[in-house]
Amino acid sequence: MKIMLVYLKKHSIDKIELLSWISVVLILWGGYCTSVDIIPLNKWLLLFGSFGWTIVGLAWKKSSIWAFNLITAVFYINGLYNDYF
């Protein structure tokens, strides 16, 4: 965490850009967890990554990004609901 803060101070990364990269990492880890059947962690990671990209899409005013990720987030919520109930 400290390394990330030092990097941010030196390079002045926009918060939305940072959120986009964190969301990318979450989605990649979610995909990995899916490939090795780590359930329901995969759905949680994919859900948070999709929510992050929804926010990024809204900030960038790109309807294709936020709409796609909002819809996939609903799919992940449905999957989590089926896992727990």
Instruction: Find, among 64, 69, 44, the residue nearest to 54 by Cα.
Output: 69
Look up the domain containing 69 and give its range: 14-84
Residue 61: inside a domain: yes
Q: Look over the chain and give the mean of its residue pLDDT values, rounded to a whole number.
A: 93
C-alpha neighbours within 13 Å on the C-beta side of residue 65: 16
Whether the predicted pLDDT of 20 surpasses 80:
yes
Residue 26: inside a domain: yes
Per-residue pLDDT tens digits for 32-71:
999 999 999 999 999 999 999 999 999 999 999 999 999 9
Residue 40: inside a domain: yes
Residue 57: inside a domain: yes
* Chain centroid, CA 28 distance in Å: 9
Count structural domains, the chain: 1
Residue 58: inside a domain: yes
Residue 1: inside a domain: no
Handedness of CA 73, 78, 79, 80 (dihedral sign): positive
Report residue 46 as tokens.
Answer: 């994919």
